[in-house]
Amino acid sequence: MSPLRPVSAHLDRLTRTAGGAPLLTHYGPAGERTELSVASFANWVAKTVNLLDDLGMADGDVVSLPVLADRPAHWMGLVWPFALWRAGLPAHLDDPDADVAVVGPIDPRPVAPTTLACSLDPWGRALADLPDGVSDYSSEALAQPDAAASTPAPPDAPAWADGERTLTVADVAALEPITDRVLARPTTAWEAVSLLARAILGGGSVVFTESDGDPARTASAEKARVVA
């Protein structure tokens, strides 16, 4: 049996065939809504891959994503695992020995040799007045080219580690595809990442909410199926 196609290959296919379709819709705590099409999400992924290349990241280097532990549902943090997988690198949720760490906007501090801060703004606007040793992710990423080559990792290469689970590239590729539009309120990083990966594998889409509003009402407005 031939190996399953990695998530990056499925995102490439969707970008070619359904680039304008919604992929990730995010409702913030105050109900602010941001929708990324397949093409928009893929563009952020490509820019982040090029940023990783600029940073000199290579096989064996570690990127830690505490931003996803803090705000698992936000689209800016969710770009990172998919960029890392496209670059052939694993995603670590929180590794104190990381070469690069991606943190959120609340009291950002340098926690790795290279630390990037995500604003978690609905529209990805930059952070200002960052301390020495911390760079703004939006500014760095938006300066990058819009296309990036894929560097496939072998199926048995690590793809995700979060303290509770360690998954390979093949494990992620084998997730059950989602073919429709689903709504969830993710409380963990892997819940959010895996649901988005499953949507990419199956050509579906996700709505993630951090709002205190009624999920059923949001799901009805979004024509989505509630899954969590």
Domain ranges (residues) in the chain: 7-226
- pLDDT of 75: 97
Query: Per-residue pLDDT tens for 150-178?
Result: 998 999 999 999 999 999 999 999 999 99
Enter the pTM of the model: 0.97
Judged against a pLDDT cut of 60, whether residue 190 lies above it is answered with: yes
Among the four given CATH numbers 3.40.50.12780, 3.30.70.980, 3.90.76.10, 3.30.70.240, the one describing domain 7-226? 3.40.50.12780
- pLDDT of 3: 67
Give a three-class secondary structure readout of the chain. Answer: CCCCCCHHHHHHHHHHHHCCCEEEEEECCCCCEEEEEHHHHHHHHHHHHHHHHHCCCCCCCCEECHHHHHCCCCHHHHHHHHHHHHCCCCEECCCCCCCEEEECCCCCCCCCCEEEECCCCCCCCCCCCCCCCEEEHHHHHHCCCCCCCCCCCCCCCEEEECCCCEEEHHHHHCCCCCCCEEEECCCCHHHHHHHHHHHHHHCCEEEEECCCCCHHHHHHHHCCEECC
Query: Per-residue pLDDT tens for 116-146?
Result: 999 999 999 999 999 999 999 999 999 999 9
- pLDDT of 1: 42
